[in-house]
Amino acid sequence: MHGMIFEIYKLYLVVFVVGIMIFCVLSMYLIYKSFTINTDVTVTYSKQIKIYNFLKVNFFVMVVIMYLTPYLLSQWQHR
């Protein structure tokens, strides 16, 4: 029983850390891009809007992963 609980939490840490880290790195890149985009004259307004929208979606997915991972893994443990 204790081995199974340890495996569940190990899986939780892997999913949580890998999932969140991917989106954190992507968010940092998009934030950097949104700050530096104003100085780049070759960037169009539509590209700027796409970056901002993708950043919003990225934060939403990151929050969903952060809050749903423990719930989904606890449901998987009870099966």
Q: Give per-residue pLDDT as tens, 10-33.
A: 777 777 777 778 877 888 887 787
Could you report the per-residue pLDDT of 42-52, keeping only the tens digit for each?
Answer: 667 787 788 78
Number of domains in the chain: 1
CB 37 within 8 A of CB 43: yes
CA atoms within 13 A on the CB side of 69: 19
| Cα–Cα nearest to 67, from 30, 22, 20, 26 | 20
Residue 54 contacts residue 31 (beta carbons within 8 Å): no
CB contact at 8 A, 16 and 65: yes
Question: What pLDDT is recorded for position 65?
Answer: 76
At position 61, the amino acid (one-letter code) is V
pTM of the predicted model as reported, rounded to 2 decimal places? 0.52
pLDDT at 76: 66
Domain interval for residue 30: 2-77
